[in-house]
Chain A
């Protein structure tokens, strides 16, 4: 103690180097939060990094449509937090239930209180069951959403395996924004690919609350070529919007029609995870407005929001974007801890979608970050060609698999 006092008395000008280490608390260990925790620790080992995650394991949504098609196991989608612990991140398995933005502390379900200098919220999405009349978490046991991977993914897989050979699946798509814009259409493709092999008379009907969708021309062309008429799509203005469901009777209602499919995959509307609302960082849209340079909330100081929960449009809500935002936010946080201001950068995204297990298409974009917005860089935006040269879609399927391996290794170690 005496020695320490003597040493610090010697070094008045360097006192800054001895100030208590910065305390970073991260809520949510998904593609956004786990990447961020790991990166801050790597850039700044002296920072104390606590990651609060409610679950023991993370089950990845990316590639989970292949699980539904019987092409992958759920185990290959599942990751644990040992890699983060080994990297020096203090992983706390608990649910954050409240944030006091003024006192800068987080309260956990188990009773613990955590003080922070900066807080990063990366809770992903909350499913708004009650926004769809008749739907609920319980109803999702009959009409699975499979929009959070795990038991829901397996349930949907079992249902399409068990349905009659000439059965009908309805996929109900909520109004944008929702997590993974091309996800429902990739799912339709992979279900149809399973049916083509196993139940050639089965049909997929997409009831959509939107007028158009990501990679639409590429998907529709692929569907025609691979699956003939077995995937149909109805836009919102073509009575595609599901307004009410009756899970026990397996009925879905649009404005003018009622459907009674064998399998109903109902994807509910979404908003930022609950803790973002508790912290006061979500606005009336249900999502979190952030500064583009630092991802700091526009509504509360010292709280940053990344991943699906943040408003980073025109960036989509994807795992690729969540991971990229996390790394940029990590650099911004370490700069802030060192008294440097965050700088503008270029973020990027690519979403691969499988048309069938061995062929895929992609859409990508790059985004200039500014303090008040994210703007798309036109020269870098685009999707796979509509008339692909031989082998390109097979190559893109390999790219997708490589991407998944790289990103999960980087995120979970």
Chain B
């Protein structure tokens, strides 16, 4: 009995662990961050950088710098849609690679 209970508990833990991992990708920050990959590919382009492999703080700082800069690209406009808390949340999701986009690298 004890043995069965233990294995049942373990199974439960494994399941909830998996759910939790996936739920990071289901948050509001995740749905805001989901837009980014429409332009930012895994590999850097001729002019649009990749966001792969950057830590959350670096992404956050770069986004904040973009907001202060007076450049005139699309991203200089779009950045104004997000407040600091949203930027921090988006940076965290992108750094965690929450959507598992890494799998697309051949």
Closest Cβ of chain A: how far from B12's Cβ, in Å?
Answer: 5
Report whether A43 and B15 are in contact in the complex, using a CB–CB cutoff of 8 Å: no
Chain A hits for B22, CB < 8 A: 43-44, 334
CB distance from A47 to the nearest CB of B (A): 11
Does residue A350 face the partner (Cβ distance < 8 Å to B)?
Answer: yes
Among the 9-residue stretches A110-118, A299-307, A403-411, the one with 4 or more Cβ atoms under 8 Å from chain B is: A403-411
Contact of B11 among A14, A332, A334, A395 (CB under 8 A): A14
Q: Are A10 and B48 in contact (CB under 8 A)?
A: no
Whether, in the assembled complex, A380 has its beta carbon less than 8 Å from a beta carbon of chain B, the answer is: yes
* List of B residues within 8 angstroms of A389 by Cβ: 72
Q: Are A331 and B41 in contact (CB under 8 A)?
A: no
Q: Which residues of B contact A395 (CB under 8 A)?
A: 47, 73
- Closest-by-CB residue of A relative to B27 is A343
The answer to the question of B80 belonging to the interface, with a C-beta cut-off of 8 Å to chain A, is yes
Assess whether B37 is in contact with A410, with CB atoms less than 8 Å apart: yes
Q: Which residue of A lies closest to B100 (CB)?
A: A42
Q: Which of B35, B39, B45, B80 contacts A379 (CB 8 A)?
A: B80
Q: Is the CB of A399 within 8 A of B47?
A: yes
A340 CB-CB contact with B under 8 Å: yes
A190 at the interface (CB under 8 A from B): no
The interface residues of chain B lying within 8 Å CB-to-CB of A362 are: 73-74
How far, in Å, is A384 (CB) from chain B's closest CB?
Answer: 7
A-B contact count (CB 8 A): 136
**A338 within 8 Å of B (CB atoms):** yes
Interface size on A, residues (CB 8 A): 55
Kindly state whether residue B62 has any CB partner on chain A within 8 Å: no
Residues of A close to B28: CB separation below 8 A = 343-345
A403-B72 CB under 8 A given contacts A348-B81, A366-B78, A382-B77: no
Chain A nearest Cβ from B61, distance in angstroms: 20
For B19, the chain A residues whose CB sits under 8 A away are: 338
Asked if B32 and A402 make an inter-chain contact with CB atoms under 8 angstroms apart, the answer reads no
Q: How far is the CB of A1 from the nearest CB of chain B, in Å?
A: 19
State the Cβ distance, B91 to closest chain A Cβ, in Å. Answer: 14
Provide the residues of chain B in CB contact with A178, threshold 8 Å: none
- With an 8 A cutoff between CB atoms, is B46 at the interface? yes
Question: Which residues of chain A come closer than 8 Å to B79, judged between CB atoms?
Answer: 380
**Is there a chain B Cβ closer than 8 Å to A388's Cβ?**
yes
User: For A385, what are the chain B residues with a Cβ–Cβ distance below 8 Å?
Assistant: 72
Main secondary structure of the interface of B (DSSP, over half): helix
Instruction: Flag if A10 contacts B8 (CB, 8 Å).
Output: yes
What's the Cα separation between A399 and B77 when bound, in Å? 14
Docked complex: B59-103 residues within 8 A CB-CB of A: 72-74, 77-82, 86, 99-101, 103
Binds B, one of A147-155, A249-257, A272-280, A322-330: A322-330
Select from chain B the residue with minimum beta-carbon distance to A330.
Answer: B34
Q: How far is the CB of B72 from chain A (nearest CB, A)?
A: 5
Cα A30 to Cα B15 with chains together (Å) = 34
Say which residue of B39, B99, B103, B104 sits within 8 Å of A407 (CB atoms).
Answer: B39
Give the complex CA separation of A11 and B15 in angstroms: 12
Given the complex, which residues of A lie within 8 Å of B73, measured CB to CB?
Answer: 362, 392, 395-396, 399
Chain A residue at smallest Cβ distance from B104: A413
Known contacts A10-B8, A43-B26, A331-B26; can you find 12 more A-B pairs with CB under 8 A?
A11-B11, A343-B31, A347-B35, A348-B81, A392-B73, A399-B47, A402-B45, A405-B45, A406-B48, A409-B42, A409-B104, A413-B104
A contact set with B: CB distance below 8 Å: 10-11, 13-14, 17, 39, 42-44, 320, 323-324, 327-328, 330-332, 334-335, 338, 340, 343-348, 350, 352, 362, 364, 366, 377, 379-382, 384-385, 388-389, 392, 395-396, 398-399, 401-403, 405-407, 409-410, 413
A-B contact pairs, 23 of them (CB 8 A): A10-B8, A14-B15, A42-B99, A43-B26, A43-B99, A320-B38, A328-B34, A331-B31, A338-B19, A382-B77, A396-B74, A398-B46, A398-B47, A399-B47, A399-B73, A401-B46, A402-B46, A405-B41, A405-B45, A406-B45, A407-B38, A410-B38, A410-B41
Shortest Cβ-Cβ A-B pairs, 10 listed: A402-B45, A366-B81, A406-B41, A380-B81, A327-B34, A398-B47, A402-B48, A379-B80, A345-B31, A350-B74
